[in-house]
C-alpha cells in the first residue's frame, strides 16, 4: 500500500466509526455533507509545497505523524488544559471536549441559541441547515474538507433579529497531548447573527506539553443586515502541536465585523481568515498578532473580498519573531468590478528579535473596479539600538528594556482586546513565549 493510500486508510477507518456513531445526528443532509467532504479529501489529499498557497508551509511532518481521530463524544474531561481560563469576566462558557458541568450556555429560546453544535444539528432548526457547510468551501481545500467530513460537535450561536447579547460567548477548545495520544480533532463552530443583532465571540485553542497532536478547526460566521460581531480568536497550543484553522465570514448590508487574532505556541500554526463583504456598506476590521520563537513556524493568511459598493476594510497584522522561527503572512484584498467606492487598507509589520528568524510577507491587491481607495504595505525591522540605549541609560537592564519595546510594538493590536482579564492573560503569554 502506498504512503498516500495508507494515510487515507486511517482517515477512512475513523470516518466509518464516526458515521456509525452519529448516524442520527442532523439527519440525511448532514450525513450527505460528511460523505461529500470525505470524497473530496480523498481526491485532494494533503497539499504539498508545490501548491502555491502552501509554498512556504510544509505539512510533511503532519503527514508523517499519521494522527488518528479520537472519539471524544463521551466528554473526555481529563483531556483538557485551557491556558486562557482567566478569571474575572462574566461570559457564556462552552468547553470542549464537552463538559456540561463546566459549561453555562443558558441560551436557548425563540430568538437565541448558545450551545453545542451537536445539539443544534439534532434539533435541525432552519438556520443550521441553511448555513452549516455552506460558506467554508472545501472543493479545493483539503483541510476544510477533512474538518467537514468529521463534523460532529463544536459550538453554535444563533441570535434572532435585533437581539443584543451583553455577555461574551467563550468557546474554549483545549487539549493535553499526553491524553490525546497523538490525535487530530476537528472542532466546528457556527455563528449566525440576525439582522440588527450584536455579540462578542471569544474562541480559544490551547494545549500543553511537547507531545504531537493536531487541531483542525473551522468557524463559519454569518452576519445579516446591520449585525455586529467582535471576534477574538486566540491560539496557544502545546509545543509539539499543529494548529490549522479557517474562519469564513459572510457579511450582509451595513454589517460590522471586528476580528482580533493572536497565535503563539505550537510547532506549526496556520490560520486563514476570509471575509466576503456581500452587502453595500459592510465594514470589516482584521487585526492580528503572531509570536514565534525557537524553531516554530507560523502562517497567517487573510482574504477580504469586496463584492458590493461602499464597503470598508482595515487590516493590521504584526509579528514578533525570535530564535530560528519562521513566519509567513499573505494578505489579499479583492475588489470586484461592481464594488465601486471601496475603501481598503492593509498593513503587515514585523519585529525580528534574532538574525536567524525569517519572514515571508506578501500583501496583495486585486482591483477590478475603477473608483476605489486601496493601499497595502509591509515592514520588517529590529529593535532600535538608540531606544534600547535610552532605556538602559535610565537604569533598566537589557531584558526589561526589550520587554517594554516588544510590549509597545504588540500593544497596538493587544489593546484591541476589550476584556481586561483576557487581555492581561494574553499579554503575559506572549512575553513568556518569547522568553523575555
**Secondary structure (H, E, C), 321-353:** ECCCCEEEEEEEEEECCCCCCCEEEEEEEEEEC
Q: What is the predicted pLDDT for the residue at 69?
A: 84
Q: How do the pLDDT tens digits run along the chain, 436 residues long? A: 444 555 667 788 888 888 777 765 656 888 899 999 999 999 999 999 999 999 999 999 998 888 888 776 654 433 455 666 567 888 998 888 765 544 445 555 678 999 999 899 988 789 999 999 999 999 999 999 999 999 988 999 999 999 999 999 999 998 755 445 578 999 999 999 999 999 999 999 998 878 889 999 999 999 999 999 999 999 999 889 999 999 999 999 999 999 999 999 899 999 999 999 999 999 999 999 999 999 999 999 999 999 999 999 999 999 999 999 999 999 999 999 999 999 999 999 999 999 999 999 999 999 999 999 999 999 999 887 777 766 677 777 877 788 888 888 999 999 999 999 999 889 888 777 776 6
The three cell numbers locating residue 145: 474538507
Q: What is the predicted pLDDT for the residue at 186?
A: 93
Q: List C-alpha distances in Å: 168 to 34, 136, 262, 308.
A: 30, 24, 18, 30
Return the exposure string of 72-92: e unless at least 16 CB atoms fall within 10 Å of the residue's CB, then b.
Answer: beebbeebbbbbbbbeeeebb
What is the C-alpha separation between 324 and 390, in angstroms, rounded?
A: 28
Q: What is the predicted pLDDT for the residue at 78?
A: 38
DSSP structure class, residue 45: -
Q: Position of cell 447579547?
A: 165
Contact 430, 264 (CB under 8 A): yes
For the whole model, what pTM was predicted? Answer: 0.93
Angle between helices 420-434 and 398-414 (to 10 degrees): 140
Q: Any residues with CB less than 8 A from the CB of 123 and at least 6 apart, and which?
A: none
What is the C-alpha separation between 325 and 154, in angstroms, rounded?
A: 31
Amino acid at each position: 500500500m502506498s504512503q498516500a493510500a495508507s494515510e487515507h486508510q486511517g482517515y477512512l477507518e475513523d470516518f466509518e466509526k464516526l458515521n456509525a456513531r452519529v448516524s442520527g445526528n442532523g439527519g440525511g443532509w448532514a450525513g450527505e455533507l460528511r460523505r461529500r467532504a470525505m470524497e473530496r479529501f480523498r481526491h485532494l489529499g494533503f497539499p504539498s509545497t508545490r501548491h502555491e498557497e502552501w509554498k512556504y508551509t510544509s505539512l510533511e511532518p503532519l503527514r508523517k505523524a499519521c494522527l488518528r481521530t479520537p472519539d471524544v463524544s463521551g466528554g473526555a474531561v481529563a483531556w483538557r488544559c485551557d491556558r486562557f481560563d482567566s478569571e474575572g469576566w462574566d461570559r457564556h462558557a462552552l468547553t470542549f471536549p464537552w463538559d456540561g458541568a463546566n459549561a453555562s450556555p443558558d441560551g436557548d429560546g425563540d430568538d437565541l441559541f448558545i450551545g453545542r453544535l451537536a445539539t443544534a444539528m439534532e434539533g435541525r432548526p432552519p438556520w443550521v441547515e441553511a448555513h452549516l457547510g455552506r460558506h467554508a468551501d472545501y472543493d479545493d481545500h483539503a483541510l476544510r474538507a477533512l474538518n467537514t467530513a468529521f463534523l460532529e460537535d463544536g459550538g453554535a450561536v444563533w441570535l434572532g433579529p435585533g437581539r443584543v447579547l451583553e455577555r461574551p460567548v467563550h468557546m474554549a477548545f483545549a487539549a493535553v497531548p499526553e491524553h490525546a495520544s497523538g490525535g487530530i480533532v476537528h472542532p466546528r463552530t457556527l455563528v449566525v447573527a440576525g439582522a440588527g443583532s450584536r455579540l462578542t465571540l471569544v474562541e480559544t485553542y490551547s494545549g500543553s506539553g511537547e507531545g504531537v497532536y493536531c487541531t483542525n478547526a473551522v468557524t463559519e460566521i454569518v452576519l445579516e443586515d446591520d449585525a455586529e460581531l467582535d471576534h477574538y480568536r486566540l491560539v496557544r497550543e502545546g509545543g509539539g502541536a499543529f494548529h490549522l484553522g479557517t474562519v469564513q465570514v459572510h457579511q450582509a448590508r451595513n454589517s460590522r465585523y471586528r476580528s482580533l487574532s493572536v497565535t503563539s505556541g505550537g510547532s506549526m500554526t496556520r490560520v486563514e481568515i476570509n471575509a466576503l463583504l456581500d452587502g453595500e456598506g459592510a465594514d470589516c476590521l482584521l487585526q492580528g498578532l503572531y509570536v514565534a520563537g525557537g524553531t516554530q513556524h507560523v502562517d497567517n493568511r487573510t482574504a477580504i473580498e469586496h463584492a458590493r459598493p461602499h464597503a470598508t476594510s482595515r487590516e493590521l497584522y504584526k509579528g514578533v519573531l525570535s530564535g530560528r522561527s519562521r513566519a509567513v503572512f499573505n494578505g489579499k484584498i479583492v475588489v470586484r468590478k461592481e464594488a465601486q467606492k471601496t475603501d481598503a487598507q492593509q498593513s503587515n509589520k514585523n519585529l525580528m528579535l534574532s538574525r536567524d528568524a525569517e519572514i515571508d510577507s506578501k500583501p496583495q491587491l486585486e482591483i477590478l473596479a475603477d473608483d476605489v481607495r486601496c493601499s497595502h504595505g509591509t515592514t520588517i525591522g529590529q529593535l532600535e539600538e538608540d531606544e534600547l540605549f535610552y532605556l538602559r541609560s535610565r537604569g533598566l537592564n537589557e531584558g526589561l528594556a526589550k520587554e517594554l519595546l516588544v510590549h509597545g510594538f504588540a500593544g497596538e493590536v493587544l489593546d484591541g482586546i476589550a476584556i481586561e482579564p483576557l487581555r492581561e492573560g494574553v499579554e503575559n503569554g506572549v512575553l513568556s513565549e518569547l522568553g523575555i
